[in-house]
Structure 1
C-alpha cells in the first residue's frame, strides 16, 4: 500500500505508536482506523482554519469555532454514561509509518491489514503530523473534558496535499448544513469531480474569487468570504453567496453571461465574463457613488436584495449593450441613468413597492419585487425615449 512506509515502529524516534487497521481502499491514500486518548487529539492534529495568506491565496478549510456547540459536547462527555461512537476524521502526514502484524489469516483479511502505526510527534519546530478534516468541534470538546484518557475512535487517510483534504471535507459535509459562504469559498480550490449540486456552483465561485482579488475589479476587497479577516469586515460589505447566486443565475440560458459558455465543448470564456462584470459594475459604482461601498444597513445597493436585483437588471442591460464594444461603458451608464432617479438605496420610499428604503429584505419575495420594479422602470424609460 502507498503513502506511509512499512518499517518497524521502534525505528521511528519521538513517535506515538498505536495498534491500527489499514483498510485497502486506495493505494494513493492509505486509510487507517485506530484509537487516541481525548487529550492526544490536538497533540497530534492541527485544525486548518479557512483564511488567506498575504498574497490572497486560500489556505485551510475549517469553519470558525462554535463555542456553544463545543460546550454542549463537553457537558455530555463529562457525564458518566458518555458514549462517543463517531470517529474524528484526520488527514495524516506521509511521515507516518505502518508495520503489519504477522499471524493467522481469517476470511476477509484481504480487506484490511492489522499492524502498528507510528505517528511522528511535533518537536524542534516540526509541524504536527495530522490535520482534522471532520470533527473539529468534537476534537476541541474532547481536549476540554475531565477524563483525559477517554478513548476516541479515529479514521485517518494519508494526504499531505491540502487540496485532497479540502475535497474530502466538502464530500463529508455535502449533506450537512455547512455555512454556504464556507462551501462557496472552498469550491474553486477543489479540482476533483464534485457532486452535481456543488459542481454547478464552482464556476460562479471562481469568478467571485477573482472579482474580490483582481486589481482591475470595481469590487476588489468588497466581497465578504468565510476567510475574510475581521479587520477587513468594514470594507467587505457584500456577501459572497449573493454574488455567487447572481453569477449562477446569469450563466443560465436567460442570462447575459450565458453566451460566454460553449455547452457543447463544456468550455467557458472566463475572461469575457470578467470583462462584462467589470464593465457593468464599474458603471453601477459611478452611477450610485453615495450608496457604493457602505454596509448593507446603510445602503440597500450593497444588500443581498440590491445586489441580486441589479444583477437581474444587468441581464437586461447587457442583453442590449455588448460589453465588448468600445462605447459600452458610456452606453451602460446611460441605461443606469434611466433608473437612478427612482432608486432609494439609502433613504426614502420605493415608489410602487410602498416600502421604505431599508424595509427591503434579502428574501425571494423582496428580491423578485425589487428586480421587477427596476426592470419595469428601465423598460418604461426606454419607451419614453423612443
Structure 2
C-alpha cells in the first residue's frame, strides 16, 4: 500500500439492516429504514433546472410549502403512523453483506443482510443519493421534532439519471405531475411511460429547440418547469400551448409537420421541422411586431389561445411557402398579410367573433373559434 493510499480517509458509511430484492438483475432494490435526521445525509432532491449550457438537470418539482407544513404538523402530533415511505436512487457503489445462516434468502430471491450506504461528510458536501419520490415528505421529516423517527425506504442502486427520471415519472403516474414538468422531462427519457406521453416527446424536444436556438423568435421567451423565478417575468409563452400545437400538426395527416415523418422507417426530419418552425414564427413576429414578446395579459398572440390558433394556421400557410426559396420568411409575411388586418391581438374587438381582444381564453371553445375564423378568412382571401 502506498503512502497516498494510507493517507486517504475512508468515506463515512451508514449501516442498516436491509432486504435485497432482485426484481432486476442489473439494478438491486433494497428495503430498509432511516432516521428522519439521516435522510439529508444520504439523499438530496434533484430540483429541475438547467445549467449554463441549457442542458436539463434534475427532475423534481418545486417545494409545496403548505403541503410540507401539513405533513410536519402530523409528524409532530401524538401517535404517529407514517407508512408512506421514500424512494431513493442510491449510488452504484453501495455494499450489501448477506447475513450468515441458511434462512437468509427465500424462494423469491429476497436476501437479508447489512447495507452500507455512503453518507455526506458535512451539510456542505454533496449527498451520494437522490430522492426519486417523496420529496415533500422528506422535507417535512427533516424539519420534524422527532429526529429519530424511523422512515421506510425503498432504494434502487443506480447512478443513471435517465433511470431515475423514468422511475420518477412512473411512480407519479397515479397522481399526475404538473403537465409542464412532465413535458419538459420527456425529451430526457428514452421510453415514455405511456403512448399518450410518447406523443408529446418530440413536440417537447422541438419546444426546447425553439427556446434555446438564438435564431428562433421564441428564444428565451418560453416558460418551462425549470425556469427560475427571476426569469419568469421575461418568459411570456407557456410551453404547453406550443407542445399541443406541434403535436396536432405532427399527428394529423393534413398537418405541415406530418410530412417530415417517415412512419415506415420510424424517422423524423427534425432539421427540416426546425427550419419550417423558425421560418413561420419569424414571419408571425414580423407581421405582428407590436404584439410579439409581450405578456399574455397585454397580447393574445402570446396567450395560449393565440399560440394554438396560429399553430393551426401554420398548416395552411406553410404548404404555400418554399423553404428553399430566396426569402421564405418574406413569403410567410405575404401569406399572413391576408389575415393581418382582421387580427385584434392587443386591442379592439374581433368583429366576426363578437369578442373583445382580451376576452378570448385558452379553452377548447375559444381556441377552435379563433382558429376556424383565421383559417376561413385566410382561405377566402386567397381565392
Structure-2-length-normalised TM-score: 0.94
1:69 to 67, 70, 73: 67
2:34 to 36, 41, 46: 36
Give the Å deviation of 1:273: 0.6
In structure 1, the residue corresponding to 2:164 is in which secondary structure?
A: helix
CA distance in 1, matches of 2:322, 2:249: 15
Say whether the 8 Å CA contact 2:191–2:198 is kept in structure 1. no
Say whether the 8 Å CA contact 1:12–1:120 is kept in structure 2. no
Give the Å deviation of 1:106: 7.2
Deviations 1:253-276 (A, max 9, x none): 121100000011111100011110
CA distance in 1, matches of 2:178, 2:266: 29
Say whether the 8 Å CA contact 2:105–2:112 is kept in structure 1. no
1:299 aligns with 2:302: no
The residue aligned with 2:250 is 251
The residue aligned with 1:143 is 142
What runs of 5+ residues in structure 2 fail to find an aligned partner?
1-8
CA distance in 2, matches of 1:35, 1:331: 65
Give the Å deviation of 1:95: 2.9
Distance 1:324 1:169, change over 3 A: farther
CA distance in 1, matches of 2:243, 2:256: 15
CA distance in 2, matches of 1:259, 1:371: 21
The residue aligned with 2:175 is 176
CA distance in 2, matches of 1:215, 1:118: 48
The residue aligned with 1:85 is 83
CA distance in 2, matches of 1:382, 1:192: 44
Moved more, 184-193 or 324-333: 324-333
Aligned pairs (5 A) from 1:2-17: 13-17=11-15
Superposition CA RMSD, Å: 1.7
Say whether the 8 Å CA contact 1:76–1:82 is kept in structure 2. yes
The residue aligned with 2:308 is 308
The residue aligned with 2:151 is 152
Deviations 1:227-274 (A, max 9, x none): 112222222110011100010000021211000000111111000111
Say whether the 8 Å CA contact 1:95–1:129 is kept in structure 2. no
Deviations 1:22-77 (A, max 9, x none): 10112221110000111221221100000001111111000000011111111222
1:46 aligns with 2:44: yes
Give the Å deviation of 1:306: 0.2
The residue aligned with 1:320 is 320
In structure 1, the residue corresponding to 2:339 is in which secondary structure?
A: helix
Distance 1:13 1:232, change over 3 A: closer
Say whether the 8 Å CA contact 2:192–2:201 is kept in structure 1. no
Say whether the 8 Å CA contact 2:211–2:221 is kept in structure 1. yes
The residue aligned with 1:336 is 336
Moved more, 235-244 or 119-128: 119-128
Equivalent residue pairs, number: 373
In structure 2, the residue corresponding to 1:311 is in which secondary structure?
A: helix
Say whether the 8 Å CA contact 2:309–2:370 is kept in structure 1. yes
Say whether the 8 Å CA contact 1:276–1:324 is kept in structure 2. no
Give the Å deviation of 1:12: 6.5
